[in-house]
Each structure stands twice: as structure tokens, then as C-alpha cells.
Amino acid sequence: MITHDGPWLNAGEKLICFGDSITADQKGYVGMLREKLSAQQIAVVNAGRGGDKTPWALTRLEQDVIAQKPQAVSIFLGTNDSAIGRGRWADEPTVPPEAYKTNLKWIVYLCRQAGIRKFSITPPLCRFEGEAWLEYGDIMAPYRLAAREAADEMRTRFVAADSVFADEWARHPGHTGLLLTTDGVHLARKGNDLLVEAMLKAWGMAL
């Protein structure tokens, strides 16, 4: 894993958070980041869309990211990529881990071609909970690895939030309900707290 020294963001910069419904949540981690980083005069823009997967994200990259001219992009996609083609999304084409990894690399590449220089990749957060766990099972591991590989190959920051979440679940052996989410997928306050902490640590900006 590539290591980076120094803070990732500087005063006066704009950060776009590019993701799915976990990102789009108006009471979620993006709002918490905005609150914490505003004191450093860093603008945080929410570019989350419910149900998004990396193939769809690529179709809106120009409008929602590149056209906004940010200095930095936080990419948090993969929860839906790992689930489609299974369970309630069985009618949708699957996004294999290798395709997911390639799509992440294309997101970074296209943004770099437009002059954006700072990127952070966050993988799926280890596992679903509750009923979603019963429906999908342990399907995220290859996508977590793919996100790590994409970050390494594209030389971006990597937020190891999946490991942070796994450590938290390990503190509650036998827990079968909702520990860090409200519905098995979307984050509860504790989950958002852990995600923000992991992001700021990876960005060299722990507050």
C-alpha cells in the first residue's frame, strides 16, 4: 500500500464526495465532513446518487465532478456494485470485481485528464447487516480487494474503512442485528462516525 505524507487537503480547496446513497444521505458522513472541514476553509460538495454503481457513475462524471472543477475527489462506490445481479437486484447485470476495479481507475484517469490531481478511494464497508446480510451474504471481500488494487495502481489515497468496520464488528461477537447501519446498508450515527474518522486519518487530517 502506498503511503502519503502530509495533509491531503488545503485551505481554499473544494472536495467532491462522489458515491451512492450512503454518500447522498443528507444526515450522513458528507455533512459531518463539511462541518469538520469548514473551519479549514475547505468546501465539501455532495455528489452522491441513490442506487449508483460504477458504470452509472461514469455516465455522470463530467457533470457532477469534472464540471465542478474541484481540487480533490473522494470516491466511495462499490456497495451496489457488489450486490447487483443478486437478491432483489437479480434482474440487473452484475459488475464483477475486475470491472469494478477498472471503472474506479477510469474515474480517476478521466478526472486527471481534466486537471484534477487529488483522489481518495474508499472500499465497500466490509459487510451488510441484518436482513441484507441474509439476502446477500459475504460478497464484498473481492470488491474490497479490488478497491485497494485500484488505489495502488492509480497512486491515490486509500481509506481503509472496511478494516475499521471489521474491527468494530469483531468487538461484538454473535451480533446478528443492526450494529452500524439503520437498515443493513445505510449508516447509523456510529457508522458515520467511524467512516469520517477513517477518512480524516487516511487524508492526514485527523481533527
Helix, strand, coil distribution of the chain in percent, nearest 5: 50, 15, 40
Q: What is the mean pLDDT of residues 166-192?
A: 91
The whole-angstrom separation of Cα 118 and Cα 128 is 29
Q: Is residue 193 part of a domain?
A: yes
One-letter amino acid for residue 62 of the chain:
E
- Bridge partners of 23, per DSSP, are none
- Residue 3 is predicted with a pLDDT of 60
What does pTM read for this prediction? Answer: 0.95
Nearest to 53 by CA among 104, 126, 17: 104
The whole-angstrom separation of Cα 68 and Cα 28 is 22
Q: Write down the residue that cell numbers 467512516 correspond to.
A: 195
What CATH number does the domain containing 118 carry?
3.40.50.1110
| More confident position, 18 or 39 | 18
The answer to whether residue 173 scores a pLDDT higher than 90 is no
The answer to whether residue 176 scores a pLDDT higher than 80 is no
- Residue 63 is predicted with a pLDDT of 98
Q: Is residue 76 part of a domain?
A: yes
Q: Bin 153: left if φ > 0, else alpha if -120 < ψ < 50, else beta.
A: alpha
Q: Is residue 8 part of a domain?
A: no
Residue-wise pLDDT for 97-151, tens only, equals 999 999 999 999 999 999 999 999 999 998 898 888 888 888 999 999 999 999 9
- For 45, the 3-state DSSP assignment is strand
Number of domains the chain is built from: 1
Nearest to 44 by CA among 62, 23, 58: 23
Q: Is residue 4 part of a domain?
A: no
Parent domain of 131: 14-202
Residue-wise pLDDT for 31-87, tens only, equals 999 999 999 999 999 999 999 999 999 999 999 999 999 999 999 999 999 999 888
The answer to whether residue 1 scores a pLDDT higher than 60 is no
- Residue 2 is predicted with a pLDDT of 59
- Residue 113 is predicted with a pLDDT of 98
- Residue 25 is predicted with a pLDDT of 96
Q: What is the dihedral of CA 18, 110, 148, 183, to 10 degrees?
A: 20
Q: Is residue 130 part of a domain?
A: yes
The whole-angstrom separation of Cα 26 and Cα 37 is 16
- Residue 49 is predicted with a pLDDT of 98
- Which distant-in-sequence residues (6+ apart) come within 8 Å of 49 by Cβ? 19, 20, 21, 24, 56, 57, 60, 64
Q: Is residue 207 part of a domain?
A: no
